[in-house]
Amino acid sequence: MDDDATYEEIEARISAVRDNIRDLIEQASAASGEAAEQRIADRLSDQEALLERLLKERDAARERSARS
């Protein structure tokens, strides 16, 4: 992510990723077939990794803001 991203921009992305994760969980519960389930599991894993990265970026942005 861009180093110049504002705290609010990061929060918006976090919210969107959390929504994606909720949607994927719903899809997983309705999915049938091993291939479909694996695709959803892979996408869910990607979204969880993105969420973790964004949370770290948010914390860093908050820390930078507190030092200013």
Residue type present at position 8: E
5: DSSP letter: -
Q: Do the Cβ atoms of 54 and 10 come closer than 8 Å? A: yes
d(CA 40, CA 60) in angstroms, rounded, equals 30
Q: Is residue 1 part of a domain?
A: no
Token pair 């993105």: residue = 50
Q: Is residue 47 part of a domain?
A: yes
pTM of the model: 0.84
d(CA 21, CA 48) in angstroms, rounded, equals 7
Residue 43 structural domain: 7-67
Total of domains in the chain: 1
Give the CA angle between residues 7, 20, 1 to the nearest 5°: 35
Summarised one tens digit per residue, pLDDT across range 5-56 is: 889 999 999 999 999 999 999 998 888 888 999 999 999 999 999 999 999 9
Q: Is residue 32 part of a domain?
A: yes
Q: Is residue 2 part of a domain?
A: no
